[in-house]
């Protein structure tokens, strides 16, 4: 039986207290003829984001597992992504995991365990780690404040307390006026609901993601706190390649799923903690990333193409 890795165990930690949630409106509402101009204003800033790097503080629950981590993220158009996780006790060290994606294929390197997963869909790896399947471009849109992406708006409806709902990009988008301008405040697509809060300078610094239980979908309730954001700063192509040790042992997506929050008994918090008692000190700490780590996304020199 494959044992849960120490690196993944660092992600399966007790979460901090959840921030207050925004309640999105429901029901038919009333017609809102000005939906197109409101949507254009609300997405004006985030629709022009081509590249983005940020520090992401993750907390919440996926399935039966509590999650807490700090992730260094880099995103670029055409499905490119790099996520690095750093243990809080070693800010200057190398990441304990690296996930890179370039289009439909992704590579996950668990550096502490010498394991590598190649060729899986990025959304499948992200779902195995955090409980919600998101494509790299959807993550870029999410962090930039545009929900799951920008599309052609249609069918605007208004609700009490200044809410507006618009159908766009295969989702229901929710707008509110904040500081005199329409802002992208949430979205709903299938079992997934997104809401933004803590706006500063027109951009949200907190995003909540929640999925309801459905066939093939475990319930998840996650919070991302976004900081150290850099927008449209060029990211070298080398950022989106991972350095894989030559002796890395292959890891399958199914193994990752079994160890992650959606893996049932083998992936539950109690089991993972029991099997990693030798890393108890790390398990008590959330995964951290130094403010000095963000420039690594731009300075990264790739040595091994995967």
pLDDT tens-digit series, residues 233-276: 999 999 999 999 999 999 999 999 988 776 654 333 333 333 33
Is 91 in contact with 290 (CB distance < 8 Å)?
A: yes
Q: How far, in Å, CA of 250 to CA of 221, rounded?
A: 30
Q: List, in sequence order, every beta strand (DSSP E) within 63-103.
A: 65-76, 80-85, 97-102
For 113-125, the pLDDT digits (tens) are: 899 999 999 999 9
Asked if 234 contacts 295 with a C-beta cutoff of 8 angstroms, the reply is: no
Q: Is 37 helix (H, G, I), strand (E, B) or coil?
A: helix
Domain 6-15+22-299 architecture: Clam (2.50)
CB atoms within 10 A of CB 38: 23
Contact 108, 95 (CB under 8 A): no
pLDDT in tens, 22-66: 899 999 999 999 999 999 999 999 999 999 999 998 899 998 888
Question: What pLDDT, in 10s, does the model give residues 147-197?
Answer: 999 999 999 999 999 999 999 999 999 999 998 999 999 999 999 999 999
User: Token pair for residue 187?
Assistant: 């979205």
What is the chain's length?
306
Q: How far apart are CA 200 and CA 78, in angstroms?
A: 28
DSSP secondary structure code for residue 218 in this structure:
-
In the chain, where the domains are located: 6-15+22-299
Q: Judge if pTM exceeds 0.75.
A: yes
Contact call for residues 59 and 187 (beta carbons, < 8 A): no
Contact 113, 5 (CB under 8 A): yes
pLDDT digits (tens, 9 = 90+) for 143-152: 999 999 999 9
Which three-class secondary structure state does DSSP give residue 98? Answer: strand
């Amino acid at each position: 039986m494959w044992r849960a890795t120490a690196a993944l165990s660092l992600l399966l930690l007790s979460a901090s207290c959840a921030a207050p949630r925004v309640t999105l409106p429901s029901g038919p509402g009333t017609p809102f003829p000005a939906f197109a101009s409101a949507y254009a204003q609300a997405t004006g800033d985030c629709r022009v984001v081509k590249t983005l790097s940020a520090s992401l503080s993750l907390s919440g629950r996926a399935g039966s597992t509590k999650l807490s981590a700090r992730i260094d993220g880099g995103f670029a158009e055409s499905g490119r992504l790099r996520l690095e996780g750093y243990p809080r006790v070693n800010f200057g060290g190398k990441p304990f995991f690296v996930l890179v994606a370039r289009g439909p294929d992704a590579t996950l390197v668990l550096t502490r365990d010498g394991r590598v997963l190649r060729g899986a869909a990025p959304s499948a790896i992200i779902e195995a780690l955090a409980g919600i399947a998101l494509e790299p471009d959807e993550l870029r849109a999410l962090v930039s404040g545009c929900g799951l992406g920008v599309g052609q708006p249609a069918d605007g409806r208004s609700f009490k307390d200044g809410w507006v709902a618009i159908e766009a990009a295969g989702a229901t988008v929710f707008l509110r006026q904040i500081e005199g301008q329409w802002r992208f405040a949430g979205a709903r697509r299938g079992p997934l609901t997104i809401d933004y809060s803590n706006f500063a300078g027109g951009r949200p610094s907190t995003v909540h993601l929640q999925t309801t239980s459905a066939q093939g979908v475990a319930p998840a309730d996650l919070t991302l706190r976004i900081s150290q954001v850099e927008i449209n700063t060029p990211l070298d192509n080398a950022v989106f390649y991972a350095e894989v040790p030559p002796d890395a042992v292959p890891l399958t997506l199914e193994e990752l799923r079994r160890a992650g929050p959606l893996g049932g008994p083998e992936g539950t918090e109690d089991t993972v903690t029991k099997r990693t008692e030798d890393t108890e000190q790390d398990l008590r700490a959330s995964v951290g990333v130094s403010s000095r780590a963000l420039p690594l996304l731009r300075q990264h020199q790739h040595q091994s193409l995967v």
